[in-house]
């Protein structure tokens, strides 16, 4: 993956309040990379994405899903609200909404791709 994409990804995750010290940070990073590199139009998160990441990190798919969810929820409390709104402007109903794992990863991947 290009250094520019990696830089955008890490900066975005930090603005979302998700630091590299959180386990889910690395899983989200890998998920975004997989989505960006995928040639498929749709990806099944529970049947394909989580197991693929789990195999890379030698953990269970359930652990990956839970860690990503926890990172999003924890980070979203401390995130840059304006940045979050600029990325998720048409996918969330209000400022207090927290995106699901799927929405977060796919929207972040699309945002990075089109920046």
pLDDT at 96: 65
* Alpha-carbon gap, residue 74 to 55, rounded angstroms: 25
- CATH for 3-113, options being 1.10.10.10, 2.40.480.10, 2.30.110.10, 1.10.3720.10: 1.10.10.10
Residue 80's Cβ-side half-sphere holds a number of Cα atoms within 13 Å equal to 10
Confidence of residue 39 (pLDDT cuts 50, 70, 90): confident
Rounded to two decimals, the pTM is 0.90
Distance, CA of 8 to CA of 60 (rounded, Å): 28
Higher pLDDT, 42 or 96: 42
Instruction: Decide: 18 and 74 in contact? Cβ < 8 Å.
Output: yes
| pLDDT of 1 strictly over 60 | no
pLDDT digits (tens, 9 = 90+) for 21-38: 999 999 999 999 999 998
How far apart CA 11 and CA 8 sit, in angstroms, is 5
């Amino acid at each position: 993956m290009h250094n520019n994409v990696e830089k955008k990804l890490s900066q975005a995750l930090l603005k979302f309040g998700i630091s590299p010290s959180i386990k889910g940070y690395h899983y989200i990073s890998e998920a975004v990379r997989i989505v960006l590199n995928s040639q498929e139009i749709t990806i099944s998160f529970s049947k394909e994405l989580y197991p693929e990441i789990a195999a890379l990190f030698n953990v269970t798919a359930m652990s990956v899903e839970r860690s990503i969810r926890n990172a999003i929820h924890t980070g979203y409390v401390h995130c840059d609200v304006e940045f979050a709104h600029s990325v998720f402007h048409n996918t969330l109903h209000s400022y207090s909404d927290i995106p699901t794992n799927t929405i977060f990863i796919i929207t972040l991947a699309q945002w990075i791709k089109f920046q």
